Amino acid sequence: MATKTAEELLALGLRDRWYPLCPSGTVKRGELTRIERAGEQLLLWRDSAGVVHVQEDRCPHRGARLSLGVHMGDRVACNYHGVQVDGDGVVVSVPGSPGCALEGRPALRTFPAQEHAGAVFAWFGLDEAAEPTPLQVPDPIAGGEWDNFLCYVEWDAPYGYSLDNLLDPMHGAFLHRNSHTMFGGKREAVFQIRAIDDGFVFEKTDQRGVNFDWVQLTDAGAQWVTLDIPYPETAGPGGAFTIVAALCAINETQHAAFFWRCRKVSGWERDSWRVLYRNRLEARHWAVLEQDREMAEAMPLDAWDRENLYQHDIALVRMRRLLRSEARRQAAALAAPPAAPAPAAPVPAPTR
């Protein structure tokens, strides 16, 4: 991939990560879908078997937008000169010059892609040829005893602002004070950070199960934020309301956010929860999310340069240090010259 500075990686997302791109329903059979994610112009499409493909939206011939082309079942044809590429990025036909050197070449950058929990994920690797790590998802969106609804939004704010918001339990007691779930609890707290494998938990030391009281950040091939919101009995079966969140930068000033709203329910309780959510609870959650959107989009782009943090913000400090350290490492790796090929083995002298 092209060289990027540490600041660009921080703004657009670290590499060697899986990122959710869009809800699965965005990519329809027989259609070509163009989106921007992590600063990359992408083409998404499904082949005749329904498998989703994520590729650079750039014809390998002259750079025209493939998304303006023609879906041909298991290949895409550029509308400019008819060049056809398959789901692996291989040029399978050049109608204007059959048999030319371009045919048969893997010439289009193709991103490993998977679908899970109603979303399309893609791997953005430092080394485009390297195999991705397995996509591991948190238990609440892995199926089994858990059920979920995906809430998807696109906001006009840097993705870091939403990550800050998710790692800030204290704002629930103020910004969301009048919501149907976060009206209780104290407005002051002392927090602690507890290390876990591949991340940390940020939690109040003197309150649990009352408000937005803890949050967990996990970064292992993908970045996940998990938290619980206490639910009253009137919200039906399933215990606490769990949110699994993942973010993807669109560009430096916009991002896509995925919020899976989960409960641990099965059998008749699952049916009851789904009906209750759709008919009563969903609109209330959208109202809470709208409060977050208004706050994030109104923040100035230099907010981080002029902030004054205190004890409630220690998770933000920890998270930003981790991201900056990794961004510097990745930027250095991208800037390093390619390794020289190993010298050829000497040819043994012929024997008589």
* Structure confidence by residue, pLDDT tens digits, 80-119: 999 999 999 999 999 999 999 999 999 999 999 999 999 9
Distance CA 66, CA 83 (A): 10
> By mean pLDDT, which of 50-59, 130-139, 203-212 is the weakest?
203-212
**Is pLDDT of 170 > 90?**
no
- Cβ atoms within 10 A of the Cβ of 124, count? 23
Q: Mean pLDDT, to the nearest integer, of 134-143?
A: 94
pTM equals 0.92
330 token code pair: 């990745």
Tens digits of per-residue pLDDT, 182-232? 666 678 888 999 999 999 999 988 888 777 788 999 998 999 999 998 887
* Amino acid at site 42: L
> By mean pLDDT, which of 19-28, 230-239, 315-324, 342-351 is the weakest?
342-351
- 306 by DSSP, 3-state: which? helix
pLDDT at 341: 60
- Cβ atoms within 10 A of the Cβ of 307, count? 11
Q: Let me know the angle formed at the C-alpha of 8 by 6 and 14, rounded to the nearest 5 degrees.
A: 70
Distant-in-sequence contacts of 74-83, Cβ < 8 A, 24+ apart: 74/47, 74/48, 76/32, 76/43, 76/45, 83/59
pLDDT bin (cut points 50, 70, 90) of residue 346 is low
CA distances (Å), origin 19, targets 23, 113, 128, 256: 12, 10, 15, 10
pLDDT at 164: 97
Tens digits of per-residue pLDDT, 231-267? 877 777 777 889 999 999 999 999 999 999 999 998 9
**Is pLDDT of 19 > 90?**
yes
